[in-house]
Amino acid sequence: MIKPLLLVIAVWLVAWFSVKSLAGLRLASPRGQRLVDIAIPILFGVWLLVLWELVVRAFGIPSVLLPAPSMIWARIISSVPTLWADFRQTYLKAVVAGYVLGCGSGFITAIIVDRVPFLRKGLLPIGNLVAALPVVGIAPIMVMWFGFDWPSKAAVVIIMTFFPMLVNTVAGLAASGHMESDLMRTYGSSYWQTLLKLRLPAAMPFIFNALKINSTLALIGAIVAEFFGTPIVGMGFRISAEIGRMNVDMVWAEIFVAALAGSLSYGLIALVERAVTFWHPSYRN
Amino acid sequence: MTFLRDKLFPVTTVLLIILALWYLLAIFLNAPFERDQAQRSGTQLSTSQLIANTMHQERPVLPAPHQVAEEIRKTVFDVRPTSKRSLVYHGGVTLSSTLLGFVMGTLLGILLAVGIVHSRTLDKSLMPWIIASQTIPILAVAPMIIVVLNAVGMTGLLPKAMISTYLSFFPVAVGMVKGLRSPEIMHLDLMRTYSASASQVFWKLRWPAALPYLFTSMKIAVAISLVGAIVGELPTGAVAGLGARLLAGSYYGQTVQIWAALIAASLMAAVLVALVGLAAHVVNRRMGLQASEARR
């Protein structure tokens, strides 16, 4: 018991010092510094994986509890077709459809709400409240209404993504300054011109914030909805079914796919955001 | 008066409209079943009879609001709070794991933030992973954590609370990093001219400056803890809690029960968020923050 413990502590110390020395590195060239800044978290992650593998092997942790990363990777490689089928069912059908419809309707509702002050006063407090509610709970009802296949999951995703989009867009539309609005008025611009040329661009950081929040929420919504009933394919179905058979490595493989999909879609949105809101102070150097 | 005109009146109007839409939808969705029943027994239904029937179905597609209210009243007041049929009992189970997870998550988040602010290594290495950890749909791991911990012999409150912890530490950590870094350079320099130690700078400048951020993050954290607790109750085979109530309802087609659990969960979320907001208000007031500043 003592020997593996010492080994783990030794590796942990090596990991800590290597990350620390890299973090202490200050380079003259900004490009080199950026490379170092990217390398630090990657190194940290690699050490984390090494430690995980080491702890599992050294202490002989049963794979039902926590499988080693190598084991999970082997499982991923050996079951690519299943993972792809699940991914297609959950992500490409339910999440994408629900995400587009939910964000789109939230956006359009926000424009209408913004035009009608009475609605803004009445609907916004309720929207704020609903954004804090456990909306996932709607899943069993949607499964009853729309059946076991992906439309019911898409419906859950629509409802989950609608309110964050609504609240954020309304806040964003109020974000443009008085000076700019006055300037637009002196130009004699119409409501639509002000909306398209000033207020929507000014609202973009808020809208992208909602898009980012929603990209995670959508995946959660679709997976959790599958716990309540699904055809025999899908990430949520696979997770709950393989847990029942104590195939924890398959569950981890599924989680890996979900994490990858989540991170990639988040990264994609972040890239588009950079391109659209290049003028925002947080991107200027 | 402005409160009445700008807040109460519009909100009530919108709520009434939602309620009316709910009734209409209930009639529309429940009518096919009634028509089907009438056709089978060979009787003719008048429209008013049809509408009246859709309001009192045993297992409606969409229960009317008064049915849900009646179910909540029955399960809250008519049964003993310790009984398994009581909504108070299930709500209590969910609430206890929500609060435990929320407290643990807040503490973890604060600890991480303090570490990140004071150590360059942690800042550079840990911060990107904290953010990346949230692009993972962690709720998907929830059933596994529960089942695995059950297999080791950890049952009851703690596994569920750990899911809430995982969900709630993130907003607190991110908010607190922002908050602990919010003091201006000028103030930090002033502390240095006083030759204040690191702990003095922390307790007298950074911590007070971070408190408004802490409460804003805690509002998000408490709401998300509740979601974690509910989802954590799903895979335990529907034993106890609002999540179990949802699952049992969906197994047996008890729509009224699902809606009652859903409304109860929503009320609980609203009350919890309001309580944190109240605490924020009181603390900010005592620290001398103006009301306009406090409302961030």
The distance of B208 to chain A (nearest Cα, Å) reads 26
The dihedral sign for the CA sequence B12, B17, B23, B26? negative
The distance of B123 to chain A (nearest Cα, Å) reads 9
Residues B57 and B91 in one domain: no
The distance of B7 to chain A (nearest Cα, Å) reads 6
Among residues B62, B79, B111, the one where a domain terminates is B62
In a domain, B4, yes or no: yes
Residues B49 and B187 in one domain: no
First to last CA, chain B: 24
Query: Which of B137, B226, B270 lies closest to A216 in CB terms?
Result: B137
Q: Do B126 and A144 touch (CB under 8 A)?
A: no
Residues B142 and B208 in one domain: yes
State the average pLDDT over residues B170-189.
85
- For A125-150, write each residue's pLDDT tens digit: 787 777 777 777 788 888 888 888 88
The distance of B228 to chain A (nearest Cα, Å) reads 9
In a domain, B78, yes or no: no
Q: Which residue has the tokens 């599992």?
A: A56
CA–CA dist B232, B145 (Å, integer): 9
**Range name among A41-50, A184-193, A194-203, B139-148 with the lowest pLDDT average:** B139-148
Q: Is A33 on the interface with B (CB under 8 A)?
A: no
Residues B112 and B183 in one domain: yes
Dihedral pair phi/psi, residue A24, rounded to 5°? -80, -10
Among residues B47, B62, B77, the one where a domain terminates is B62
Assess contact for A167 and A107: CB atoms under 8 A: no
Q: Do B143 and A133 touch (CB under 8 A)?
A: no
Residues B181 and B116 in one domain: yes
CA–CA dist A127, A42 (Å, integer): 39
Confidence of residue B137 (pLDDT cuts 50, 70, 90): low
Q: Do B125 and A24 touch (CB under 8 A)?
A: no
CA–CA dist A169, A174 (Å, integer): 9
Q: What pTM was estimated for this model as a whole? A: 0.79
Q: Which of residues 165-204 of A touch B (CB under 8 A)?
A: none
What is the pLDDT, as a whole number, of residue B140? 67
Polymer length in residues for chain A: 285
In a domain, B74, yes or no: no
Question: Residue B290: CB partners within 8 Å, gap ≥ 6?
Answer: none
Residues B123 and B47 in one domain: no
Residues B122 and B253 in one domain: yes
What is the pLDDT, as a whole number, of residue A146? 85
Residue B229 has pLDDT above 90, yes or no: no
Q: Do B136 and A126 touch (CB under 8 A)?
A: no
In a domain, B194, yes or no: yes
Residues B91 and B203 in one domain: yes
What is the pLDDT, as a whole number, of residue B194? 92
How many A×B Cβ pairs under 8 Å?
Answer: 158
Q: Is A255 on the interface with B (CB under 8 A)?
A: yes
In a domain, B71, yes or no: no
Residues of chain A found within 8 Å of residue B261, distances taken between Cβ atoms:
137
In a domain, B182, yes or no: yes
Kindly provide the ipTM of the predicted complex, given to two decimals.
0.73
In a domain, B143, yes or no: yes
- For A107-120, write each residue's pLDDT tens digit: 999 999 888 888 88
> What is the domain range of residue B14?
1-62
Count of domains forming chain B: 2
Residues B55 and B114 in one domain: no
Residues B120 and B41 in one domain: no
CA–CA dist B246, B233 (Å, integer): 9
CA–CA dist B45, B196 (Å, integer): 83
User: What number of CA atoms fall less than 13 Å from residue A89's CA on the CB side?
Assistant: 23
Rg (CA), chain B: 25
The dihedral sign for the CA sequence B249, B254, B257, B258? positive
CA–CA dist B138, B144 (Å, integer): 11
The distance of A238 to chain B (nearest Cα, Å) reads 11
For residues B189-216, one letter each, b for 16 or more C-beta atoms within 10 angstroms of the residue's C-beta and e for the rest, the string is eebeeeebeeeebbeebbbebbbbbbbb
What is the pLDDT, as a whole number, of residue B15? 84
Best of A13, A33, A121 to disrupt the B interface by mutation (most B CBs within 10 Å)?
A: A121
Counting beta carbons within 10 angstroms of the beta carbon of residue A215, is it exposed (0 to 12), middle (13 to 18) or buried (19 or more)?
buried
Per cent of chain B over pLDDT 90 is: 5
In a domain, B219, yes or no: yes
CA–CA dist B242, B245 (Å, integer): 5
Q: Is A129 on the interface with B (CB under 8 A)?
A: yes
Residues B152 and B10 in one domain: no
Diameter over CA atoms, chain A:
79
CA–CA dist B93, B240 (Å, integer): 7
Q: Which of residues 139-158 of A touch B (CB under 8 A)?
A: 139-141, 143-145
Per cent of chain A over pLDDT 90 is: 7
Residue B292 has pLDDT above 60, yes or no: no
CA–CA dist B210, B287 (Å, integer): 12
CA–CA dist A279, A283 (Å, integer): 7
Closest by Cα among B278, B39, B263, B76 to A138: B263
The distance of B85 to chain A (nearest Cα, Å) reads 19
Q: Is A236 on the interface with B (CB under 8 A)?
A: yes
Question: Residue B191: CB partners within 8 Å, gap ≥ 6?
Answer: B200, B201, B204, B205
Indicate the DSSP class of residue B81: T
Residues B118 and B228 in one domain: yes
Query: Which of B10, B128, B269 lies closest to A132 in CB terms?
Result: B269
Q: Do A44 and B132 touch (CB under 8 A)?
A: no
Residue A253 has pLDDT above 90, yes or no: no
